[in-house]
Structure 1
Amino acid sequence: MTWLSPAFPVGAFSYSSGIEWAVEAGDIGDAASLRDWLESMLADGPGFCDGVFLAHAHRAVSSPEKAGLRDVAELAAAFVPSRERQLETSAQGRAFIEIARAAWNCNGLDQMVSCCDGIIVYPVAVGVVSAVHGLPLVPTMHAFFHALTSNWISAGARLIPLGQTDSQRVLALLEPAVAATIKRALGASLDDLGSATFRADLASLRHETQYTRLFRS
């Protein structure tokens, strides 16, 4: 709960995953359109993919031979559609690992980080650290998705803007999509990875050259 709370300093508040451009372009303008946008991102875009990477990283660390951890980390680092999404997930992953080492270090963590042998994106970092500490995968996944969805809503609330009550309504309405995405991600293989959120991908690309920006992605 601590690692995936807004108070954990990975810098999540400074990223919008392209939502900033979507608001400027008029794709998102109220609570209903924000909910629809995020439901697609959860079910058919980065939400599902991040869940799959978290699950496979966790299982790789938990397996006796640590099989496939480097391959999962490498694929996850390559599986982002834009420079700013790469910055978003890699910077948060790096911060998550550094803070875990500083405040919640344990035997085996440095070894697993070394096994990744390169960039460790955010969902892989969460999977690795939680597995090394012996935390079960399912509650880790639920906490991760709650943090991810809450941060997206927070970005939308500041950009549209939305009030606190409307923000909580969006979160409540997204609960079924979150639960369904978690279930799919837990049962998915790496071959099941895929995204169909083309407008969101374009938003993250166009955000790079947006004239005025509040967020880093």
Structure 2
Amino acid sequence: MQATALLHLLQLASPSLPIGAYSYSQGLEAAMESGIVTDAASARAWIVDTLHHVVARFEAPIVWRLLQAFSARDDAAVARWTEQFIAARDTAEFRAETIQMGYSLGKLMADLQIDDGGLLAILQAQPEIPLPTAYAYAAVALAVPADAALLGMLFSWAENQVLVCVKSVPLGQVAGQRLLLSLQPELALAAAAVSTLADDDLSSWSPGLSLLSMLHEVQYSRLYRS
């Protein structure tokens, strides 16, 4: 990868990107409240299971398809996968999360005035913009290779999950970095599997996570919005 594309990816995947990712736990806070995640070992088990059985089975494959669609300027494919992803958000928190961050990233890219060869018009034609759609648009507009963009998306997700654990389990900073380092082989495996999935293999079926998300909506004490 060229240096410019790598730097663009680092910026896009950075936790300092102003889209509000730090304010969401994606069900992890509810798992802590329920006693499922209590220490470093259970935190790692939660993240690995969620990565392989949830993220790598639906969100990441849709990001992959959206990357191809934006690269081909295929507005119909962008609309199709955007609509399917939003329809699969089965709790109020999960839906609000992806729409808020997608809107924020889309607005940021528009404000930065990236020369994208007409890609922004495809993005803005969507009635609602979830995070996978905005992320795929940004990666293609910044000329980040698709395989690197996919891995960057997975790493950004994992890093945010680890940061939630550092703040809320709580884990120490060194334990958090040890956890993140141990996840690298899992992220590589997930990325390799994503691009091989056929459309009919995609699945957002995760009833346990959905129940935890609904419990979080009425959780008395919480730091995160999901």
Give the equivalent residue in structure 1 for 2:108: 99
The CA deviation at 1:65 is 4.4
Shift in alpha-carbon separation, 1:66–1:132, aligned structure 2, 3 A: farther
Please, which of 109, 123, 126 is the counterpart of residue 119 of structure 2? 109
Determine whether 1:59 maps to 2:68. Answer: yes
TM-score, with normalisation over the residues of structure 1?
A: 0.93
Q: Is the 8 A contact 2:56 2:193 kept in 1?
A: no
Determine whether 1:173 maps to 2:173. Answer: no
Partner amino acid for 1:169?
Answer: R
Range with bigger deviation, 171-180 or 146-155? 171-180
Determine whether 1:85 maps to 2:69. Answer: no
Q: Which runs of 5+ in 2 are unaligned?
A: 1-9
The CA deviation at 1:197 is 3.6
Distance 2:60 2:113 in 1: 23
Give the equivalent residue in structure 1 for 2:200: 191
Query: For 1:90-127, what per-residue CA distance to the aligned partner results, in whole angstroms no more than 9, with x for missing partners?
Result: 11111111101111422313212134x22221122111
Q: Is the 8 A contact 2:73 2:119 kept in 1?
A: no
Give the equivalent residue in structure 1 for 2:51: 42
Runs of 4+ in 1 over 6 A off after TM superposition: none
Provide the secondary structure at the position in 2 that maps to 1:3: helix
TM-score, with normalisation over the residues of structure 2?
A: 0.90
Q: Give % identity.
A: 28
Range with bigger deviation, 134-143 or 98-107? 98-107
The CA deviation at 1:185 is 1.2
Q: Is the 8 A contact 2:98 2:131 kept in 1?
A: yes
The CA deviation at 1:145 is 1.0
Q: Is the 8 A contact 2:114 2:141 kept in 1?
A: no
Give the equivalent residue in structure 2 for 1:125: 134
Please, which of 74, 77, 81 is the counterpart of residue 68 of structure 1? 77
Query: For 1:50-69, what per-residue CA distance to the aligned partner results, in whole angstroms no more than 9, with x for missing partners?
Result: 21111111101112544411
Shift in alpha-carbon separation, 1:201–1:47, aligned structure 2, 3 A: farther
CA RMSD of aligned residues (A): 1.6
Q: Is the 8 A contact 1:109 1:129 kept in 2?
A: no
The CA deviation at 1:134 is 2.6
Give the equivalent residue in structure 2 for 1:203: 212
Range with bigger deviation, 196-205 or 142-151? 196-205
Shift in alpha-carbon separation, 1:36–1:65, aligned structure 2, 3 A: closer
Query: For 1:122-169, what per-residue CA distance to the aligned partner results, in whole angstroms no more than 9, with x for missing partners?
Result: 122111221233321011111111111000111122111000111112
Give the equivalent residue in structure 2 for 1:148: 157
Partner amino acid for 1:110?
Answer: L
Partner amino acid for 2:214?
Answer: L
Distance 2:204 2:75 in 1: 27
